Copies of this chain bind each other. A is one copy, B any other.
Amino acid sequence: MPGLQGRQLLDAYRAMVRIRLFEERVRDRVNANDIPGVCHEYIGQEAVAVGVCTALRESDVITSTHRGHGHVIAKGGATNRMMAELYGRVDGYNRGKGGSMHIADVSLGIYGANGIVGAGLPIAAGAAWTSKRKGTGVVAVPFFGDGASNQGVVHETMNMAAIFKLPMVFVCENNLYAISASFREMSSVEHVHTRAAAYGMHGEAVDGMDVEAVHEAASRLVERARRGDGPSLLECKTYRLVGHFTAEQALGLSYRPKEEVAEWTKRDPLLVGEASLLRQGVASAEDLEQVRAEVAAEIDAATEFAQASAWPPFDEALAHMYADATAARPMRGW
């Protein structure tokens, strides 16, 4: 399996930058009360989403998590429609009805971010089921966190995927924390991937800060699934370089040693990616600067697009509940 080469590597870098700048913008806009609610930033984990999604076809399916922006961007989501969704506007992917935690582009195989930890896994298994029955070759990839690995439905889905040999790659992003709870305290084992053995499934770990390594591992496992050799579990060792969510700074939580954050910051996936591009001579420092500038312009445009987008029509509030003409029950009467 050849790794990311030349142009691909630069594209992967661009995708990571896109995620980073998108998230930084989102954080600013949330803190300015311009975007409602809270968002869970993907900052620090860019190499995982990009490494995995560069191993996928457009028709492949992913399910995402509460920390979903990175997955959506990596799978090809348009930043302007994403931003409009976060602003709750009609041009958003979900017409403003989903927001950060439910953002989806089903046409791109993105079956949605999910507010319930672990809940996306069986849904991905369903897409894999369809693939297997219809012989479409689609592979389904649920992303989930280290914290999610202790949810019951994760266990159930892995067993099910294994016995039916579903074309899936379970991607665990072990960023060492579930909000303030450290993986070390909350898990009875040191690694998530070793639990694959409990399902007779292949499992392995990869450096989640290195997009090339993630891509290589994901490609192997995706191809394996596509060939009909069944599911596997890929644990990406990563770190979120920021708080759990945009509100964390205000809360003043402190549960991670400063040294730990500093240590991982040195391995920022963007730095790792840049170093590799330069080392391999794929791009010059100026090229990288240009990528960043182009993406920054894209994010500016996305933000303007979102801000200029209209609110969803008021009478859409009750729409989309049912596929047919059934009326959703309003606040009073019917």
Contacts and interface: CB of A to CB of B under 8 A. Distances in A.
Interface of A: 150-156, 158-159, 162-163, 185-190, 194-195, 197-201
A95 to B, nearest CB: 33
Given A155-B152, A163-B185, A198 B200 contact: no
Interface centre among A153, A188, A195 (most CB of B within 10 A): A188
Given A188-B201, A189-B198, A197-B194, A152 B163 contact: no
Given A188-B199, A201-B188, A156 B162 contact: no
Nearest to A230: B188
Nearest to A161: B188
Nearest to A164: B188
Contacts of A151: 152, 156
A167 B186 CA distance: 18
A44 to B, nearest CB: 26
Nearest to A118: B152
A200 B186 CA distance: 13
A259 to B, nearest CB: 25
- Copy number in this complex? 2
A156 B163 contact: no
A155 B154 CA distance: 9
A162 B185 CA distance: 11
Contacts of A158: 188
Contacts of A152: 151-156
Contacts of A186: 163
Contact of A150 (B150, B154, B156, B187): B156
Nearest to A188: B162
A162 B153 CA distance: 19
A86 to B, nearest CB: 32
A165 to B, nearest CB: 10
Contacts of A185: 163
Contact of A198 (B156, B162, B163, B198): B198
Contact of A188 (B153, B187, B200): B200
A198 B190 CA distance: 10
A34 B199 CA distance: 44
A187 B150 CA distance: 19
Interface centre among A158, A162, A198, A201 (most CB of B within 10 A): A198
Contacts of A188: 158-159, 162-163, 198-201
Contacts of A199: 188-189
A200 B184 CA distance: 12
B153 A159 contact: no
A147 to B, nearest CB: 12
Nearest to A186: B163
A149 B258 CA distance: 41
Contacts of A189: 197-200
A265 B124 CA distance: 43
A158 B195 CA distance: 13
